[in-house]
Homo-oligomer: A and B are copies of this chain.
């Protein structure tokens, strides 16, 4: 992670970095912007909203992203589809940094990237940076000297360059789609659909009872 940041700073000298260790915040479960009871998600959300490049760092746990990363994704789901229906992360590029002592990279990276595209992010090529050991329990990144891995080092380079390129590209060429009329139409259609489904289910219940 730090190597990635260093390399990104070298590539683009006017880069501002804000590292957030989510575990240091009191992040509650839920779907609102602020779940109360000291929920500190709003602090993180402000940071996320303002960034051009979002890099999520997570360990793998039981083959998937750690619960703390899952909570971040859930909270983003609740809070990136604002009142004006404009997804907050349109015009943000995303990368990911993953470590684990074995297998699970594809699941973590694939699901997290896909989730992020649903919040509006653009995913450049080769912006997943990861290290895992071979099968079974074993040393983690630091003890195993993951920093020596030629693959990790190549990917640090690609991730750094492509994130910077992607962010500059979106600055020049931002997505301008207006979600509001699309959202309005979606909600109108869904309202009718749900009403018709309700009627169909009432008939269905009667018909099943007659069986």
Using a CB–CB cutoff of 8 Å, the interface residues on chain A facing chain B are: 23, 29, 61-64, 66-68, 70-71, 73-74, 77, 87, 89-90, 102-107, 109-111, 113-115, 117-128, 130-139, 143-146, 148-154, 157-158, 161-162, 165-166, 168-170, 172-173, 175-177, 182-183, 185-190, 192-194, 196-201, 203-205, 207-208, 211
A105 pairs with B135, CB closer than 8 A: yes
Q: Which residues of B contact A158 (CB under 8 A)?
A: 177, 182
Q: Which residues of B contact A196 (CB under 8 A)?
A: 200, 203-204, 207
B193 pairs with A89, CB closer than 8 A: no
A47 CB, min distance to chain B CBs, angstroms: 20
A61-B73, A131-B134, A196-B200 known; 5 new pairs, CB 8 Å cut-off, are A64-B70, A64-B111, A103-B105, A114-B128, A122-B166
Contact (A70, B67) CB under 8 Å given A127-B117, A193-B150: yes
A42 CB, min distance to chain B CBs, angstroms: 18
A206 CB, min distance to chain B CBs, angstroms: 10
Residue from B136, B148, B208 within 8 A of A201 (CB atoms) = B148
